[in-house]
A and B are shown apart, each in its own frame.
Chain A
Amino acid sequence: MRGVGFFGWLKRRIGTVLHSFRFTMIGSVFLIMLSSSIIAGGIASAVYRANPDGFTRYTPVVLVLIALPVSLLLGTLFSIVVSKQILRPVDDLIRATERIARGDFSTPVPVRFRKNQFSQLITSFNDMERELSGIEIFRKDFIGNVSHEFKTPLNAIRGYVRELSDPTLSEAEREEYIRIISEACDRLTRMTTEILLLSKLENQRFVSERESFDLTEQIRDVILLFEREWTKKEIELSLDLDETVTYSSNPEMLSHVWENLLGNAIKFCPPRGGVIRIACRRSDEGVTVTVSDNGAGMDEETKKHIFEAFYQGDSSHKAEGNGLGLSLVRRIVDLHGGRCEVISSPGKGATFTVTLPDEVISSDR
Chain B
Amino acid sequence: MFAVMVIEDDAVTRRLTCQVLRRGGYDPIPASDGNEALALMDRHHVDLFLVDIMMPGMDGFEFIRTVRGSRFETPILMTTAKGSLSDKREAFKAGADDYMVKPIDEEELLLRVSALLRRAKIATERRLTVGHYTLNYDALSVSDGRGYEQILPQKEFLLLFQLLSYPGKIFTRRQLMDELWGMESDTDERTVDVHIKRLRDRFPDCRDFEIVTIRGLGYRANPTGEDKK
A217 at interface by CB-CB < 8 Å: yes
B115 at interface by CB-CB < 8 Å: no
Query: Which residues of chain B are within 8 angstroms of A224 by Cβ–Cβ distance?
Result: 170, 172, 217
A227 to B216 Cα, complex, angstroms: 14
Query: Which residues of chain A are within 8 angstroms of B172 by Cβ–Cβ distance?
Result: 217, 220-221, 224
B124 at interface by CB-CB < 8 Å: no
Query: Which residues of chain A are within 8 angstroms of B174 by Cβ–Cβ distance?
Result: 214, 217, 220
Q: Is the CB of A237 within 8 A of B83?
A: no
A98 at interface by CB-CB < 8 Å: no
B70 at interface by CB-CB < 8 Å: no
Query: Which residues of chain B are within 8 angstroms of A242 by Cβ–Cβ distance?
Result: 216
A241 to B189 Cα, complex, angstroms: 13
B185 at interface by CB-CB < 8 Å: no
- Which one of A240, A241, A251 lies within 8 Å of B85 (CB-CB)? A251
| Residue in A closest to B216 when the chains form the complex, CB atoms | A239
Query: Which residues of chain A are within 8 angstroms of B85 by Cβ–Cβ distance?
Result: 209, 250-252
Query: Which residues of chain B are within 8 angstroms of A120 by Cβ–Cβ distance?
Result: none
Shortest beta-carbon distance from B182 to chain A in Å: 16
- Which one of B86, B189, B215 lies within 8 Å of A239 (CB-CB)? B215
Query: Which residues of chain B are within 8 angstroms of A244 by Cβ–Cβ distance?
Result: 189
Query: Which residues of chain A are within 8 angstroms of B103 by Cβ–Cβ distance?
Result: 189, 193
A156 at interface by CB-CB < 8 Å: no
Q: Is the CB of B217 within 8 A of A220?
A: yes
Q: Is the CB of B84 within 8 A of A252?
A: yes
| Residue in A closest to B168 when the chains form the complex, CB atoms | A227
Q: Is the CB of B217 within 8 A of A240?
A: no
Q: Is the CB of A223 within 8 A of B217?
A: yes
| Contact code string B193-229 (vs A, CB < 8 Å = 1, else 0) | 0000000000000000000000111100000000000
Query: Which residues of chain B are within 8 angstroms of A221 by Cβ–Cβ distance?
Result: 172
Shortest beta-carbon distance from B138 to chain A in Å: 31
Shortest beta-carbon distance from A30 to chain B in Å: 63
Query: Which residues of chain B are within 8 angstroms of A251 by Cβ–Cβ distance?
Result: 85
Q: Is the CB of A209 within 8 A of B216?
A: no
Query: Which residues of chain A are within 8 angstroms of B170 by Cβ–Cβ distance?
Result: 224, 227
| Residue in A closest to B172 when the chains form the complex, CB atoms | A220
| Residue in A closest to B177 when the chains form the complex, CB atoms | A217
- Which one of A193, A237, A250 lies within 8 Å of B216 (CB-CB)? A237
Q: Is the CB of A220 within 8 A of B218?
A: yes
Query: Which residues of chain A are within 8 angstroms of B215 by Cβ–Cβ distance?
Result: 237, 239
Shortest beta-carbon distance from A147 to chain B in Å: 21
Query: Which residues of chain A are within 8 angstroms of B84 by Cβ–Cβ distance?
Result: 209, 252
Shortest beta-carbon distance from A260 to chain B in Å: 15
| Contact code string A225-254 (vs B, CB < 8 Å = 1, else 0) | 001000000000111111010000011100
A283 to B215 Cα, complex, angstroms: 24
Shortest beta-carbon distance from B109 to chain A in Å: 14
Shortest beta-carbon distance from B99 to chain A in Å: 12
| Residue in B closest to A250 when the chains form the complex, CB atoms | B85
A200 to B35 Cα, complex, angstroms: 33
A14 to B72 Cα, complex, angstroms: 77
| Contact code string A129-157 (vs B, CB < 8 Å = 1, else 0) | 00000000000000000000000000000
| Residue in A closest to B218 when the chains form the complex, CB atoms | A220
**Given A189-B103, A217-B172, A220-B172, does the pair A239, B83 have CB atoms closer than 8 Å?**
no
A21 to B75 Cα, complex, angstroms: 72
A237 to B174 Cα, complex, angstroms: 19
A255 to B215 Cα, complex, angstroms: 21
| Contact code string A76-92 (vs B, CB < 8 Å = 1, else 0) | 00000000000000000
Q: Is the CB of A241 within 8 A of B216?
A: yes
A224 to B176 Cα, complex, angstroms: 14
**Given A193-B103, A214-B174, does the pair A252, B83 have CB atoms closer than 8 Å?**
yes
Tell me which residues from 72 to 109 in chain B have a Cβ below 8 Å from any Cβ of chain A. 83-86, 88, 103
Query: Which residues of chain B are within 8 angstroms of A252 by Cβ–Cβ distance?
Result: 83-85, 88
A240 to B85 Cα, complex, angstroms: 28
A240 to B217 Cα, complex, angstroms: 10
A113 to B31 Cα, complex, angstroms: 73
Tell me which residues from 166 to 194 in chain A have a Cβ below 8 Å from any Cβ of chain B. 189, 193
Query: Which residues of chain B are within 8 angstroms of A193 by Cβ–Cβ distance?
Result: 103
A209 to B83 Cα, complex, angstroms: 13
Q: Is the CB of B217 within 8 A of A209?
A: no
| Residue in B closest to A209 when the chains form the complex, CB atoms | B85
Query: Which residues of chain B are within 8 angstroms of A223 by Cβ–Cβ distance?
Result: 217
| Residue in B closest to A242 when the chains form the complex, CB atoms | B216
Q: Which chain A residues have a beta carbon within 8 Å of chain B's beta carbons?
A: 189, 193, 209, 214, 217, 220-221, 223-224, 227, 237-242, 244, 250-252
| 29 residue pairs bridging A and B, Cβ less than 8 Å apart | A189-B103, A193-B103, A209-B85, A209-B86, A214-B174, A217-B174, A220-B172, A220-B174, A220-B217, A220-B218, A221-B172, A223-B217, A224-B170, A224-B172, A224-B217, A227-B170, A237-B217, A238-B216, A239-B215, A239-B216, A240-B216, A241-B216, A242-B216, A250-B85, A251-B85, A252-B83, A252-B84, A252-B85, A252-B88
Q: What 11 additional pairs, Cβ within 8 angstroms, besides A239-B215, A252-B84, A252-B85? A: A193-B103, A217-B174, A220-B172, A220-B216, A220-B217, A223-B217, A224-B172, A239-B216, A239-B217, A240-B216, A242-B216
Closest A-B pairs by Cβ, 8 of them: A239-B216, A217-B174, A220-B172, A252-B85, A189-B103, A209-B85, A224-B170, A220-B217
